[in-house]
Amino acid sequence: MDADSRRVVHEAARRRTFAIISHPDAGKTTLTEKLLLYAGAVGEAGSVTARKGRRAATSDWMEVERRRGISVTSTVLRFEYADVVFNLLDTPGHKDFSEDTLRVLAAVDSAVILIDAARGVEPQTEQLFQVARARGIPLMAFVNKYDRPGMEPLEIVDHLTEQLELPLAPLTWPVGAPGEFRGVINRRDGSFHEFTRVTGGSGIALEHIVTDRGPEDDPAWATAQEELELIDATDSAFDADAYGRGELIPLLFGSAAWNFGVGLLLDAVRELAPPAQPRALEDGTPRAVESPFAALVFKVQANMDPRHRDRVAFVRICSGRFERGMRVTNARTGRTLALSFAHEVFGQDRSSLDEAFPGDVVGVVIGGDVRVGDTLHLGADVRFPAIPTLTPESFATVSNRDVSRHKQFRRGLEQLDQEGVVHVLRREHTQDPVPVLAGVGPMQFEVAVERLRTEFGAEVSLQMLEWKAARRTDADGAAKVLADSGHTDVFVRADGTQVAVFPNRFVLDRFAQRNPTVRLERLIGADDPV
């Protein structure tokens, strides 16, 4: 191995690329801000000190996110801590934006599941956990809001084990009932971290750590010891190999709002989460990190900075060394392109980046035909597996209300389709020119409408359609669907995929029973089990 390859391997070992996934209101964005705080990437929660001075930077940077108080798009936050380079991807929590989270899961090496101590695993995001589990992505769970009333710790362990269908290995254990939080026992070294509150939650909590035992004559401490004896009897010790295979979930407790347990979580990710490793190609062959440059485009976002109105492709580097200005090939089109404008990404903020290594996420200002799921590479042809797509459950026609803005309307729809904000469908078997939007939920349409208005100057109207279930099909299947009844229809995506739609699952199931040989596939990536 030459010196350049050794450097790539060394730098890849320093990377931790992970996502935070949860249901809405579990505190995901708060936890993201606090991880940045503890890593020293921000001076106080919600702010960042950049090279050219202090400026606001939160992971929720879109206007619709700030107005509604929810995340609707994933955000990349790159920072360093204790000689480790973190690429943290904050994902949307709402079910309607689950596709964005799926794309993020294709780009990370591990994930942190954030659990509300009172609500546990919500059904609306359970599918994302199952996708991560099925792919063998190492998962770490953080039980948040333990300072409020909620489930008892043993109840939480039972609930998570049942819902996530994987054994748990508690790394920390709470002392005190939910809402009467005293602190946590660090099972890795036996120390007790006393719970303290920080006024406003904007600074790092000053933890009182006891290395021998907990408070004398404290019933809460005695209860915690009894619970730990039960946990120890269930063979819940941490196994690094099982965690790395995605077969064991380390568990931690804390309160992101009060900055408690955040430092322990950050250290656990740094010490236990896997670094960048060889990634499987489309044919299943693992590609070594020191191989020539190859990267996966998992997100395309336009107009992050309205002053420039550019398109940024977020690429996960999978092998080799990235150099700004390098010319690479898009495996899908066979065309070459120069990666001249590359950035280190921190929320909405960007700074120029000259080089990067496997595990890094780079924002590349790019034009031309670059889409989500594309593989960019040097040398011989390289293709990473397709990024999955969830089955649409909501459909609506979209009409331009200003004929003088027709070009902007069409360009905006094409852009949003390429980004994966919504799927834009059309009917080929009729003369109906009105495009149809498809998505997991109607909030995707709200984002699309706002972006069409603010970024492209196109005022549009929507009309919701009756379809609630969809399946991918072929030409023969499309003909049978169209001939079946007036309750079904067929649309075509921009990539030529034919989509059969049904008013509900009952009609879909009846059609499938009557036509057992018709191709009806969930609209997901190849070999994905969900």
Q: Which residues fall in the annotated binding site for GTP?
A: 22-29, 90-94, 144-147
Angle 385-386-389 from CA coordinates, rounded to 5°: 145
- Is the Cβ–Cβ distance between 140 and 111 less than 8 Å? yes
| List of residues 6+ apart from 311 with CB closer than 8 A | 300, 301, 302, 365, 366, 367, 370, 415
- For tokens 């803005």, name the residue: 405
**What single DSSP character describes residue 368?**
S
H or E segment to which residue 373 belongs: none
**Among candidate residues 257, 305, 285, the one with its CA nearest the CA of residue 25:** 257
- Is the Cβ–Cβ distance between 211 and 190 less than 8 Å? yes
| List of residues 6+ apart from 122 with CB closer than 8 A | 23
**What single DSSP character describes residue 41?**
S
Q: Which residues are annotated as a binding site?
A: 22-29, 90-94, 144-147
**Among candidate residues 303, 288, 295, the one with its CA nearest the CA of residue 361:** 295
How many other C-beta atoms lie within 10 A of the C-beta of residue 371? Answer: 18
- Is the Cβ–Cβ distance between 276 and 307 less than 8 Å? no
Q: What is the residue-wise DSSP string for 267-333?
A: HHHHHHS--S--EE-TTS-EE-TTSSPEEEEEEEEE-SSTTT--EEEEEEEEES-EETT-EEEETTT
- Is the Cβ–Cβ distance between 139 and 110 less than 8 Å? yes
- Is the Cβ–Cβ distance between 452 and 460 less than 8 Å? yes
Amino acid at 112: V
**Cα(435)–Cα(445) distance, integer angstroms:** 13
**Cα(167)–Cα(236) distance, integer angstroms:** 8
Compute the chain's Rg from CA coordinates.
Answer: 24
